[in-house]
């Protein structure tokens, strides 16, 4: 065993999101979100559950912050629920909603924990969805208004802002695959959504900076570092397509490189974009807005994708991509454990896109192990997962990646979207009947890592 040290000032934290933990869905004037509607639509969430109560964090935030402090957390990434702040999406501000976040931020600062605020972690006000949601440019305008309201209210105390969490999920997963709210299966709608999400990010960046002097502003993308299953030309083309669809479609415009031309061509060929490509969607000034310089890029990493081509004659238009399932360790989410791909993606981002700073804004594992007879949660596999990934991230730093901090997903077991409460990502166990919290072994180990600013490798 050797001790692997992290640089002084490296920020260790944990992350959650509003709909996954807050509960209090009908309280203090909160409006309906697309996740309220979606989770109550039969068949959309695996176990038929929803976020009405979740971890009841809305009422228990003081205790939760106290627990974070006991675990030595230096930073906490949480999201603001747009429908709490603007129940009708725009216009009328709900002071009680804003007040909750003011109290939460005050509690964090008092505990010496640095708040990282995500503005959009998927709970769009339902009223905006009724107008077409992210497929409409007007939703990007509404988001900018919302960003302004929140940044004015919290901007004196919050200095770290993340506009969006995982635009791929907001657009493709939710509009093409239909797995997340609003549950559409329409590729064109998904591409419209992707542009409007990115545009709303770009518009919000200067608005946040104006309202929050000295703010550090960024966006969080989820990455699926891809590789070709074999050296064949077909597999490489499938890999190119998948990487473009998942990673480059968002990265390239954010870093001033326009949408990737190979993907525009693929989408036109497949009929996902009209023959004129992006010409009617992307208006003058959009790409400049999207490429607004940011202070950091947030990286959510869970697993890699090994891609094989499966080109069937009728769909000759597009490389069909198939995920291989290599013989490795898998989490209960059905995600492969592959720490070295975290090193690879951080290194690639540094070399190809050169963000000023990087944070791992999410990384963690779903293992459902609960309390034993003594009430102890021996989640050895999560602990091993985190150790391996911390070490992989440290290696990327040796290669020059400007990684400044790491947020473990998640602080609490919580509502895992379409998987309901079946998946437990927390380093803290939640008993949903009593709302009791028990720090798992991984949380106690993480506390020691933070205290030492080092990992035993």
Contact 68, 111 (CB under 8 A): yes
* Active-site annotation holder among 22, 176, 362, 388: 362
What is the spatial distance between Cα 404 and Cα 294, in angstroms, rounded to a whole number? 15
Ramachandran sector of residue 258 (left: φ over 0; alpha: ψ -120 to 50; beta: rest): left
Query: CB-wise, 20 or 194, nearer to ligand FCB?
Result: 20
* Active-site annotation holder among 166, 176, 336, 416: 166
Query: CB-wise, 94 or 331, nearer to ligand FCB?
Result: 331
What is the spatial distance between Cα 226 and Cα 232, in angstroms, rounded to a whole number? 15
Least distance between ligand FCB and beta carbon 409 (Å): 5
- Residue the block writes with tokens 């597009």: 318
State how far Cα 345 lies from the chain centre: 16
Least distance between ligand FCB and beta carbon 278 (Å): 26
Active site residue 227: no
| Bond into 63 cis (ω within 30) | no
Least distance between ligand FCB and beta carbon 317 (Å): 29
Query: CB-wise, 206 or 420, nearer to ligand FCB?
Result: 420
| Other CB atoms within 10 Å distance of the CB of residue 398 | 10
Least distance between ligand FCB and beta carbon 375 (Å): 26
- Residue the block writes with tokens 């021996």: 378
Query: CB-wise, 216 or 423, nearer to ligand FCB?
Result: 423
Query: CB-wise, 307 or 333, nearer to ligand FCB?
Result: 333
Contact 8, 453 (CB under 8 A): yes
Residues in the chain: 457
Least distance between ligand FCB and beta carbon 254 (Å): 17
Query: CB-wise, 267 or 411, nearer to ligand FCB?
Result: 411
Least distance between ligand FCB and beta carbon 413 (Å): 11
Active site residue 166: yes
Q: Which residues of this chain interact with ligand FCB, rule CB under 6 A?
A: 17, 20, 165-166, 169, 222, 300, 362, 409, 416-417, 425
Burial (Cβ within 10 Å: 0-12, 13-18, ≥19) of residue 119: buried
Helix pair 57-70, 95-110: axis angle to 10 deg: 10
| Other CB atoms within 10 Å distance of the CB of residue 283 | 12
| Other CB atoms within 10 Å distance of the CB of residue 96 | 12
Active site residues: 166, 362
């Amino acid at each position: 065993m050797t001790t692997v040290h992290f640089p002084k000032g490296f920020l260790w934290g944990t992350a959650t999101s509003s709909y996954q933990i807050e509960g209090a869905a009908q309280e203090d004037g909160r409006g309906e979100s697309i996740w309220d509607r979606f989770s109550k639509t039969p068949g959309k969430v695996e176990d038929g559950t929803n976020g009405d109560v979740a971890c009841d964090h809305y009422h228990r935030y003081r205790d939760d912050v106290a627990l974070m402090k006991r675990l030595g957390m230096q930073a906490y990434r949480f999201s603001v629920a747009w429908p709490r702040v603007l129940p009708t999406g725009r216009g009328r501000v709900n002071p009680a909603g804003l007040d909750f976040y003011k109290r939460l931020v005050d509690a964090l600062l008092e505990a010496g924990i640095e708040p990282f605020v995500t503005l959009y972690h998927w709970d769009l006000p339902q009223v905006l969805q009724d107008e077409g949601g992210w497929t409409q440019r007007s939703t990007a305008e509404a988001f900018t208004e919302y960003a302004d309201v929140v940044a004015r209210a919290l901007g004196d105390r919050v200095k770290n802002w993340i506009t969006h969490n995982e635009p791929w999920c907001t657009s493709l997963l939710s509009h093409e695959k239909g797995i997340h709210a609003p549950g559409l299966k329409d590729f064109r709608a998904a591409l419209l959504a992707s542009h409007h999400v990115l545009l709303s990010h770009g518009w919000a960046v200067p608005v946040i900076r104006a309202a929050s002097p000295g703010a550090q502003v960024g966006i969080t993308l989820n990455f699926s570092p891809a590789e070709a299953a074999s050296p064949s030309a077909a597999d490489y083309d499938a890999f190119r397509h998948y990487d473009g669809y998942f990673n480059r479609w968002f990265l390239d415009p954010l870093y001033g490189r326009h949408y990737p031309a190979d993907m525009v061509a693929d989408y036109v060929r497949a009929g996902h974009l009209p023959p004129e490509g992006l010409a009617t969607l992307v208006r003058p000034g959009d790409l400049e807005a999207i490429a607004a310089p940011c202070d950091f890029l947030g990286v959510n990493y869970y697993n890699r994708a090994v891609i094989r081509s499966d080109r069937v004659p009728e769909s000759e238009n597009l490389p069909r991509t198939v995920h291989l399932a290599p013989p490795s360790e898998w989490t209960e989410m059905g995600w492969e454990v592959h720490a070295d791909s975290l090193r690879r993606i951080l290194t690639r981002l540094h070399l190809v896109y050169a963000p000023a700073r990087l944070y791992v804004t999410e990384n963690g594992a779903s293992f459902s192990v609960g309390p034993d007879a003594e009430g102890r949660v021996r989640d050895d596999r999560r602990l091993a997962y985190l150790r391996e990934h911390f070490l992989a991230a440290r290696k990327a730093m040796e290669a020059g990646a400007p990684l400044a901090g790491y947020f473990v997903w998640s602080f609490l077991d919580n509502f895992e979207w379409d998987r309901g409460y079946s998946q437990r990502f927390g380093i803290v166990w939640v008993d949903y009947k009593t709302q009791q919290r028990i720090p798992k072994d991984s949380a106690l180990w993480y506390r020691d890592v933070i205290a030492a600013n080092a990992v035993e490798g």
